[in-house]
Amino acid sequence: MTQTASAEPKKGSALKRSRGGAAGDKVFSNTALAAGVIILLVLAFVAIFLVTESLPALWPQVFSNQDSIASADTFGQYVLPLMGGTVLASIIALILATPVAVGIALYISHYAPRKIATPVGYVIDLLAAIPSVVYGAWGMTFLAASMVPIYGWLHNNLGFIPFFAGDPSTTGRTLLTSGVVLAVMILPIITSLCREIFIQTPKLHEEAALALGATRWEMIRMTVFPFARAGIISSVMLGLGRALGETMAVTLVLSPGVFSLSLITSGRNATIPSEIALNFPEAFGMRQSELIAAGLMLFIITLVVNMIARWIVSRHKEFSGAN
Amino acid sequence: MSKRIDARNLNVYYSKFLAVEDVNINIEPRSVTAFIGPSGCGKTTFLRTINRMHEVIPGAYAEGELLLDGDNIYAPGVDPVNVRAMVGMVFQRPNPFPTMSIRDNILAGHRLNGARMSRSEADDIVERSLRGSNLWNEVKDRLDRPGSGLSGGQQQRLCIARTIAVSPDVILMDEPCSALDPISTLAIEDLINDLKEEYTVVIVTHNMQQAARVADKTAFFNIAGTGKPGKLIEYDDTSTIFSNPANEETQNYISGRFG
C-alpha cells in the first residue's frame, strides 16, 4: 500500500477573508431592492387613491349621502359609453398604425440600404418627440378639415356598415379623426420597438431560410416574424396603452357626445381621459368621484389588456427559441 | 439527383477587397470533396459562392463562371433563390427554425415551393428525410416538439434532414461538426458517407483527420498573408494530398508546420 499525503483543513483560510469590492455588491443589491419596493408602493398608493376616491360613485347608497350619481342613474350608464368610446378610438388607432409600423420597421431593418435606413429611423423617432398638444392642434385644424370629403365618400359608399352610418360630419371632429391622430402618435413607439427586435433576429436562422431557397419575404415570414412575435405584441400593447391614456390630442380633436357606433358623426362618443380633462377642474363632490371612478375603469382596462398580451406571449413559449 | 460543379476563373470580392482569387476546380457528382486550409484562406467564402449565399453580405460579389452541370449560376438573369433551392447548405452551428416543430422544420423547404401535399405525402417526406439523416429512430415519437429541444448533434442532423428533404443536387457543409462532440461528429461523418450515394457533397473542415476520413478529393486553400486573396493551392485525391502532395505549402500544412 502506498501512503498518500493529504492536507489537513486549515484554520483562518485566505478564502474567508472578504475582498474590498464586496461592500459595493451589497450597496447595489439594496438600491435595486429599494427601487423595486418604491415602484410597488407608488402603484399601491395610486390604486388605493383611485378606489377610495371612487367609492362614492361606485356605490352611492353606502358611501355618500346621495341616492345616485350626478350625471346618470347608475354609474354603469355613465361610464360604459365612455369606456366604449375609449376602446373604439384605440382600436381604430391600432388597426391603422400596426401594419404601417411593422412595415416601416421591416423596411428599415431588412430592405433599405443603410444610407436610407438610418435617416428614416431618426425621422420616425422624431414623431415621438412632438408634444401631444401639437398633435391635437394639427388634428383639429388640418386633419379634421381634410377628412370631411372622405367621410362623405365613406357614408355614400359604405353607409350600410354601422361605423359609417349617420350624418357625415362637416367639421371632421369625429372619433375616426381622433383615431387617426392617435395612430400617428403611437406609430413611432411600435415602429422603433419592432425595428429593434427585427434587427436581433439571429443571422443563422435567416441564412437557414435563404439557403433553403426562400425569397426575402419568405425568409422574413419564416424567421423574422416568428422570432419577433412576442416583441410585436408587446410593442402593440405599449402603443395601445398610450392610445388609451392619450388625453390632450383627443380633447382638442373630438367634439364629444353620447356613445355611438357611427365614427363619422360629430358630437358623438367621448373617451375617458378627455372626459376627465374637460370636466375635472370644475368638478367637486359626487362629480369628482365619478371622474376618478372613470379613471379607475381606464386603469382596469389597461391592466386587462396587458394581462391578455402576456397570456398571448406565453402561450407559445416552447417554440419561442428561448430554450 | 446530383450535379457536377465546375468553377472557372472565379474571383470573389467583398466590395473592393479580393477575397478569393482565380479558383478553377472540377467537382465530380456523387463524391465528397473537402476544402481545407488555415483560417481566412477563403474556403468558406468559396463554398458560399456555390449557392450564392455570399451575396447575403452587402457588397459581396463574384466574377467568373460557376457551372452546375454546365449551367452558369452567375449568368445574367439567374435568380439566386433558384440556385439555393438546388444547392442545399448545412451551417457551422446547427440552426433549426426555433419556432417550428421537428416536422415543420423538415417541411419548411417544401412549403416554400408552395407545394400542396396531402398529410400522407408530408409524412413520407418527413420519415424519408429523417431516416436519410439517421435521426428517425431518435425523434419519431416527438415530431411535434420544437427542434430546438434536441441535442446539438441531433439538431445538426435535423438541419441535414431539412436540406435533403427538398432533394437538392448539391449539399454544401460549412464545418458541420465544429460545434459537436466526437460521438455526434462520427454520426455526421457516417451520414456524409451515405449522402454521397445520391448527392454531390462539398465540406469545409478545419479537421484534417475528418477530411481524410470522409473525402474522396481534397482541395487545399491558402493565403500569402493578411490582406492578400485566398487561392486554391492544390486539388487532388485525398490520399495523394495527405501522403504525397505536389506542393510544398500543402506538405507544410498537413504536416502541421503552420496553420
Cα B57 to Cα A112, A221, B21, B47, B200: the distances in Å are 14, 20, 18, 14, 25
Query: Closest partner residue to B53 among A210, A223, A323, by Cβ?
Result: A210
The one-character DSSP state at A318 is G
CB A289 within 8 A of CB A270: no
In a domain, B202, yes or no: yes
Cα B103 to Cα A46, A132, B30, B99, B165: the distances in Å are 50, 49, 28, 12, 11
In a domain, B124, yes or no: no
Average pLDDT, chain A: 88
Cβ atoms within 10 Å of B185's Cβ, excluding its own:
19
The one-character DSSP state at A139 is I
Report pLDDT digits (tens) over B57-111: 888 999 999 999 989 999 999 999 999 989 999 999 999 998 899 999 999 988 8
Whether the CB of A229 is below 8 Å from some CB of chain B: the reply is: yes
* Residue B212's pLDDT band (cuts 50, 70, 90): very high
| Nearest CA-CA partner of B245 in B25, B225, B253 | B253
**Does the distance separating the beta carbons of B163 and A202 come in below 8 Å?**
no
Residue range(s) defining the domain that contains residue B48: 5-95+167-254
Query: B202 by DSSP, 3-state: which?
Result: strand
CB A263 within 8 A of CB A89: no
Residue indicated by cell numbers 483560510: A13
Backbone torsions φ then ψ of B66, nearest 5 degrees: -130, 115
The mean pLDDT of A276-293, rounded to a whole number, is 90
Q: What is the pLDDT of residue A63?
A: 84
Report pLDDT digits (tens) over A146-203: 999 999 899 888 888 888 888 888 888 999 999 999 999 999 999 999 998 999 999 9
| Nearest CA-CA partner of A319 in B62, B101, B105 | B101
Question: At residue B259, does pLDDT exceed 70?
Answer: no
Cβ atoms within 10 Å of A25's Cβ, excluding its own:
10
Please report, rounded to a whole number, the percentage of residues in chain A having pLDDT higher than 90. 46
Whether the CB of A287 is below 8 Å from some CB of chain B: the reply is: no
Average pLDDT, chain B: 90
| Nearest CA-CA partner of A111 in A231, A210, A207, A198 | A198
Query: A194 by DSSP, 3-state: which?
Result: helix
Residue indicated by cell numbers 392642434: A137
Question: At residue B170, does pLDDT exceed 70?
Answer: yes
Backbone torsions φ then ψ of B71, nearest 5 degrees: -90, 120
Question: At residue B233, does pLDDT exceed 80?
Answer: yes
Rounded to a whole number, what is the distance in Å from the CA of A91 to chain B's nearest CA?
29
Whether the CB of B136 is below 8 Å from some CB of chain A: the reply is: no
Least confident of A135-149, B112-126, B140-154, B182-196: B112-126
Give the whole-angstrom CA distance, residue A180 versus residue A92: 7
Give the whole-angstrom CA distance, residue A50 versus residue B92: 57
CATH H-level superfamily of A77-319: MetI-like (1.10.3720.10)
* Residue A319's pLDDT band (cuts 50, 70, 90): low
Backbone torsions φ then ψ of B255, nearest 5 degrees: -90, 5
**Does the distance separating the beta carbons of A320 and B98 come in below 8 Å?**
yes
In a domain, B107, yes or no: no
Whether the CB of A115 is below 8 Å from some CB of chain B: the reply is: no
Amino acid at A73: D
Cβ atoms within 10 Å of A28's Cβ, excluding its own:
10
Q: What is the pLDDT of residue A87?
A: 93
Cα A17 to Cα A12, A28, A46: the distances in Å are 8, 21, 46
Q: Pseudo-torsion of CA A35, A37, A42, A48, nearest 10°?
A: 180
Whether the CB of A323 is below 8 Å from some CB of chain B: the reply is: yes
Whether the CB of A313 is below 8 Å from some CB of chain B: the reply is: no
Q: What is the pLDDT of residue A323?
A: 44
Question: At residue A318, does pLDDT exceed 80?
Answer: no
**Does the distance separating the beta carbons of B99 and A227 come in below 8 Å?**
yes
The one-character DSSP state at A106 is H
Which residue of A lies nearest to B85 if distances are taken between CA atoms?
A213
Question: At residue A280, does pLDDT exceed 80?
Answer: yes
| H or E stretch at B222 | strand B217-223
Q: How far is CA B88 from the centre of its chain?
A: 7
Q: What is the CATH number of the domain that holds B209?
A: 3.40.50.300
Q: What is the pLDDT of residue B29?
A: 93
**Does the distance separating the beta carbons of A218 and B97 come in below 8 Å?**
no
Q: What is the pLDDT of residue A218?
A: 92
Residue from A111, A200, A319, A323 whose CB has the most chain B CBs within 10 Å, to mutate: A319
CB B97 within 8 A of CB A222: yes
- Would you state the cell numbers that stand for residue A23, as one nine-digit string? 461592500
Whether the CB of B56 is below 8 Å from some CB of chain A: the reply is: yes
CB A219 within 8 A of CB A202: no
Give the whole-angstrom CA distance, residue B46 versus residue B22: 11
Whether the CB of A212 is below 8 Å from some CB of chain B: the reply is: yes
Query: Closest partner residue to A212 among B58, B82, B112, by Cβ?
Result: B112
In a domain, B60, yes or no: yes
Q: Pseudo-torsion of CA B207, B210, B216, B217, nearest 10°?
A: 0
Contacts of B176 in chain A (CB under 8 A): none
Tally of domains within chain B: 1
List helix spans (H) across B166-207: 182-195
Report pLDDT digits (tens) over A92-133: 999 999 999 999 999 999 998 888 988 988 888 888 889 999
Report pLDDT digits (tens) over A124-153: 888 888 999 999 999 999 999 999 999 989
Whether the CB of A214 is below 8 Å from some CB of chain B: the reply is: yes
Break chain A into its structural domains and give their ranges. 77-319
Report pLDDT digits (tens) over A218-232: 999 999 998 898 889
